[in-house]
Amino acid sequence: MSSSEIMLNLNQKAINLLQEDADKIEKLIEVQMDTLTNRRCPLYEEVLDTQMYGLSREIDFAVRAGLLTETIGKEIMSRLERNLAKLYEALSVNEGNE
């Protein structure tokens, strides 16, 4: 393999790993969305926040190690943040209806 092929492989691997972790958080958000009949669960929100922080540190490391552009890293985080905002919005609407 040429050196540029090696870097491409590594970069792709890094993106796949980060996307896997992002998907796990996405699942956590969906599960909470599906159980909107429940009230807000502070413990669940704490878990989501912790997972988001962990992922942001992984992404930051990958960018510094040159495996990822900052733009791709930000895209992964922004997508999750948008979904998380939707969840919190849905939860507060739901609370208002009770």
Size of the site for a copy of itself (CB under 8 A): 24
Q: Which is nearer to a copy of itself, 33 or 65 (CB)?
A: 65
Per-residue CA distances from 88 to 11, 41, 93 (Å): 33, 11, 9
39: tokens are: 């009230």
Binding residues among 41-80 for a copy of itself as defined by CB under 8 A: 50, 53-55, 57-58, 60-62, 64-67
Residues lying near a copy of itself in the complex (CB under 8 A) are found at 1-3, 6-7, 10, 13-14, 17-18, 21, 50, 53-55, 57-58, 60-62, 64-67
